[in-house]
Structure 1
C-alpha cells in the first residue's frame, strides 16, 4: 500500500506534489493501519527530491526523521553480490574461484564441501545447510560474534542435504561472501562497499 501512495505522489506532479499534506495524512494512515514502527518516504523525479516525509517512532522512543537509519536486512545481499560482480569485472576474482583461494581458513562440516565451495555458491543458497542454519550467530542483537567467528562456526554446522542438491535460504554464506570481497579487494568490506558500489551510484 505504501508503494501505491508513493506512486500516487509521483504521478500527481513531476515538479512538486500538489497536496503534500494529503500525502502526509495517507502515509500516517498506512503506518497506523499496518502497525509499522516508522517509515521515511522520498519521491525523486529526474534527480530532484519533490516530496519527503517521515512518520513513526524509533526503537529508542524518538521520532523517525530524515536522518533515521533503518535496517534493511536481506536487501544488503544484492549489494554484496554487486560488490563481488565489480571485483569480478576488475579481474580481482572469478565466480568459479574456490572460496579457500581467498579465505584459506574457510571450512565446512564436510571438508570436501569446503574445498569445492566456489564464490558463486555463496550467493545461491545451495550449501547443504538447513534453512537459517547458524542464524543465532547473527541474531538477536547485540551479540559478540565477529565475522571471523561466524565463518569459523560454519565448520560446526551439520548439513541437511548434499552440496548443491537443493535450496535453503542462508544468511551466513553472505558473511563469507563479504569477507571474500574484502580479501580479493584488499580492503575491509565496508570500505569496498562505499568505494565500489555507493560512490559510483552517487
Structure 2
C-alpha cells in the first residue's frame, strides 16, 4: 500500500507542468512555442534565458527526486516496491494528464529520481556523462542513451540488485520513447 501511495504521489508530482507554468508566470508566454515544442526547462531557457531555464530544470529534477527520496529514505520503500515509485515521476512528466497526456522528454525528472537513488556519486556520473556525450554526439537523444548506459555501468559496478536494473530498463524504455525522433537518426560525432 505504501508503494502504491508513493507511486501515485510521484506520478502526480511528475505530471505538474512546472516549466509551462513558469513560462506563463515569468515570461507571459507558452514555452512550447520555442525550440522543439516540449514543455521542459530547455525551452524555458530558449524563451527566457539561462537563469530561468536553470530554475525550470531544477524544479523538474525536484519533482522526480523528492517523492523517490521520501519513499526510499524516510518510509523505507525498497526493492521491487520501489520500482514503480521511481518510474512514476518520469512517466508523469512524459505523459502529463494536465497537458492532454503529452509531456516533455523527462530528462530532468529522470536525473532527479536517479540522483535521489545514487547520491553521492551517481549524480556526477549522470551529469558528467550527459555533458560529455552532448559534446561528442550531434544528436541529443543518442547522447541521453549513451549517458543512460554509463549510468547502468555505474549501477552494475556498485553491485545493485535486480529490481534496480529492471527499473533502469523501464527508465531507458521511457526515454527511448520520448527521444524517438532523435533515435531514428544515425548517431554522428559532433564536429569541432
TM over 0.5: no
The structure richer in strand per residue is 1
The structure richer in helix per residue is 2
Name the larger-Rg structure. Answer: 1
TM-score (norm 2): 0.27
TM-score (norm 1): 0.27
Determine which structure has greater relative contact order: mean sequence separation of CA pairs < 8 Å that are 6+ residues apart, divided by chain length: 2
